[in-house]
Amino acid sequence: MLSSLAGKPAPHEELIDVASLISDYYECQPDCSSADQKVSFGTSGHRGSAFSNSFNEAHVLAITQAVCEYKKKMGYDGALYIGKDTHALSTPAQISAVRVCAANGIFVCIAKDEIYTPTPLVSFAILEHNKHNKERADGIIITPSHNPPQDGGFKYNPPNGGPADTDVTSAIEKRANEILQNKLEDVVLVSYEEALQSKYVSAYDFITPYVEALCEIIDFKVIKNAKFRLAADPLGGSSIQVYEKIKEYYHLDMEIIHPYADFTFSFMTLDHDGKIRMDCSSPYAMASLLKLKDRYDLAFANDTDADRHGIVTPKGGLINPNHYLSVAIWYLFTHRKNFTKDLKVGKTLVSSSMIDRVCANLGIDVYEVPVGFKWFADGLSEGWLGFAGEESAGASFLRNDASVWTTDKDGIIMTLLSAEIMAVTGKDIADIYAEFEAEFGKSYYERIDAPASLEQKKILKNLDAESLNIQILGGEKIEKIFTKASGNGASIGGVKIVTQNGWVAMRPSGTEDIYKIYAESFLSKEHLKQIQTEAQNLIKELVG
């Protein structure tokens, strides 16, 4: 249900008490008998809040100790690159992690001057290190992504530079919970001062190498020659200083909106549910930038760790993420000489089927996987995925020479690519997508979220096709029912039902107490609504 406060400035009473949050991080202890207070790696790491005893120092100490042990077991003897975003809990969590790493004799690289580091820059640093060194580096990114200000998050990226696969996170999660259960007896610690003075902690410049290499993946000359007036909104996140460096290095006419960190994120407009959420794909969270769209030729935003993108054009307003993914794929495979038909396009099974239609027209194979960017890391690293994206506005792609750039989502290259596309084509992103609709049909796509208990999420996650007594969806005969992705055969943690002109996917969230219904119709809004209603009724029958 849409909140009456959606799209409106955050009222004072909605702002978090930062001092209390950080106090709870250090003082409160999780109850290991409570499932929602244990370590739990969802689709993108462990997330929680100190207010609910689900992201406290105990969690970070336990997870970091488990990562150190895993790193040693696997023989990853290179540096551990650690990045953090601008959530209030991220700096305390980085301090806790560094204390454990140094005590375990793990060499770590943290950002010089204690500045914030976006997710893609950590991925980039890992890959660059491993390109030139025998010692395998990996990384930790401390971020809950676009989640509300009270949340914290912790992700581990192995040497392939992308989010860790399920077998890795399961092992780390299991060991971390054992450590919690044993009251942290197995955690090795030194003071933060000792850690910083030790040989194990180094200050690293994440920003300069990344920014200077951007010309290998983005055509800045054509952007500059177009004389675009640009606006970049980091949403108070970790990309602030990255955009400042990009503006300076490539001499762009670009204004940076909200160029400061505010732990309460008081400048945000509220999301659909009345919560503060730095979701750059939400028209409600992006309402303030949308008001400015006519001042610029192009405006864009990233979430707090800059792994997601939001594109705002004068004609299209906030471009639907699925629409932009389709446009980006078309552009790259028609304007990059090294993006040949041998490369595949990676998409999650809940992304729009418009991508499939565009790719089919270009003669490109689609590699469809479950939700989670981790499924794309090896394909990007090995160079057989030219582009990989997911409906939640996250993507990455290869450099101009078809070599790897990042294997985690990179919202920064996606925003900059939109400027290149408009400069080269002379068209608004919305106009290019309208051409797709004229050729391939109009897509009606929507995601619905609903509250779900842990038990309901468990039932939905473990569904099998045989348990669904259904032959018709939206008035059409069902062609396929998937519980495993067609690309890699991995479990989708839910179910996807496909008909000739529509589909629906139902899965529990890996990070919030909700389930999600994704649906698409190529017939009408009414047909989409029919699919959604039937899916909701089916879920009620299955999980109560």
Exposed e or buried b for every residue in 210-235, given b needs 16+ CB within 10 A? Answer: bbeebeebbbbeebeebebebbbbbb
CA-to-CA distance for 432 and 417, rounded, in angstroms? 14
Within its chain, how far is the Cα of 307 from the centroid?
Answer: 5
Main-chain dihedrals φ then ψ at residue 359, nearest 5 degrees: -65, -40
The DSSP annotation for 225-291 comes to HTT--EEEE-TTSTTHHHHHHHHHHHT--EEESS-S--TT-TTPBP-TTS-----TT-TTTTHHHHT
CA-to-CA distance for 221 and 251, rounded, in angstroms? 10
| Pairing mode, strands 45-49 and 151-157 | antiparallel
CA-to-CA distance for 384 and 111, rounded, in angstroms? 31
CA-to-CA distance for 36 and 73, rounded, in angstroms? 28
Handedness of CA 74, 348, 417, 265 (dihedral sign): negative
Do 373 and 166 contact (CB within 8 A), yes or no? Answer: no
Q: Is 531 exposed, middle or buried (0-12, 13-18, 19+ CB in 10 A)?
A: buried
CA-to-CA distance for 493 and 483, rounded, in angstroms? 7
CA-to-CA distance for 391 and 321, rounded, in angstroms? 6
CA-to-CA distance for 310 and 286, rounded, in angstroms? 8
CA-to-CA distance for 140 and 471, rounded, in angstroms? 45
- The DSSP letter of residue 91 is H
Residues with active-site annotation: 145
Q: What contacts 24+ positions apart, CB below 8 Å, involve 356-361?
A: 357/436, 357/440, 357/441, 358/326, 358/329, 358/330, 358/436, 358/440, 359/329, 361/439, 361/440
Q: In 3-state terms, what secondary structure has residue 474? A: coil
Instruction: Spell out the residues 6+ positions from residue 530 whose beta carbon is closer than 8 angstroms to its own.
Output: 474, 475
